[in-house]
Structure 1
Amino acid sequence: MGKAENGEIREVTANIWEDRKHHLWFPLSFTKYTVGNGRLYVNSGFLSSREDECLLYRITDITLYRSLPQRIFGTGTIELHTKDRSTPVIRLENIAKSAEVKRVLSDLIEREREEKHVVGRDMYGAISHIDPMEEIQDDHM
């Protein structure tokens, strides 16, 4: 963050990628997607708005969906599975150049994990609240 001359705090951002949800070829939507500062932001709404934020290193899986109409209009939907409790699945719907965006997101996620020293066990760790012996005993009763 940087400090403005009048004392207000101003965030210095470098957006890596930005797009809107498209209808046909046109980005006529009130849903905006932004990647910057190691985060993914999803802003949606017009009269009432909502902003979701997810740290990139918390994304565990990326899937690209492209229906026939999406392929015709050059868009696609990227589904992101996260370790975020408030938003476990984030859908970037009808975005342009979706295959390229998926590749870039994947690279950014890996880079963020390396910078934060997040390893597989931190993201996919063993489920500690389930006792496997308890399940075996339940099956034999």
Structure 2
Amino acid sequence: MSFVEKKRTKFLALPICFTTYTLSDEKVTIRSGFLSITEDDAYMYKIQDVRLKKSLLERIFKIGTVICYTGDTTHPELVLTHIKHAAEIKEYILTASEEARRKRRTMHTLDIDAVEFDSE
């Protein structure tokens, strides 16, 4: 399963922006620009957490913004702005990233700084 969505305007949710988001089982690709095109990729296994945001206008026009928090150095936050089917895409990214981590046998561990206490 994969998704291809276009960034939309916040008002009337029209797809007149030149940004396309492509999601596959392996990676997320953001392609933006008209004359000069920039294409950014992030592997699915690097995505650690996902957030869905919907403002009042986004809820009225049935669009949303999905924010992916990654372990990638170039894109610590991937923002899929004003897309349709935002809730479905969020769930897809969560399950696909977990599956990609299982396939690569990578574990996401948290770096929790422990405070040492003196026991006297």
State the TM-score, normalized to the length of structure 2: 0.86
CA deviations over 1:25-73 (Å, ceiling 9, x no partner): 3222100000125010000111211111000010111110000000000
| Matched residue count | 115
In structure 2, list runs of 5 or more residues that go unmatched: none
2:45 corresponds to which of 57, 61, 81: 57
- Identify unmatched segments of 5+ residues in structure 1: 1-14, 134-141
49, 62, 66: which one aligns with 2:54:
66
Kindly indicate whether structure 1 or structure 2 has the higher relative contact order, using CA contacts under 8 Å at least 6 residues apart.
2
- Matched AA of 2:6: R
Higher normalized helix content (fraction of residues): 1
Could you say which structure has the larger radius of gyration? Answer: 1
Deviations 1:66-109, CA, capped at 9 Å, x for gaps: 00000000000001111111111110000001111111111111
Give the equivalent residue in structure 2 for 1:33: 21
Task: Kindly report structure 1 stretches of 4+ aligned residues shifted beyond 2 Å.
Answer: 124-127
Question: Secondary structure in 2 aligned to 1:112?
Answer: helix
What percent identity do the matched residue pairs reach?
31
- Aligned CA-pair RMSD: 2.0
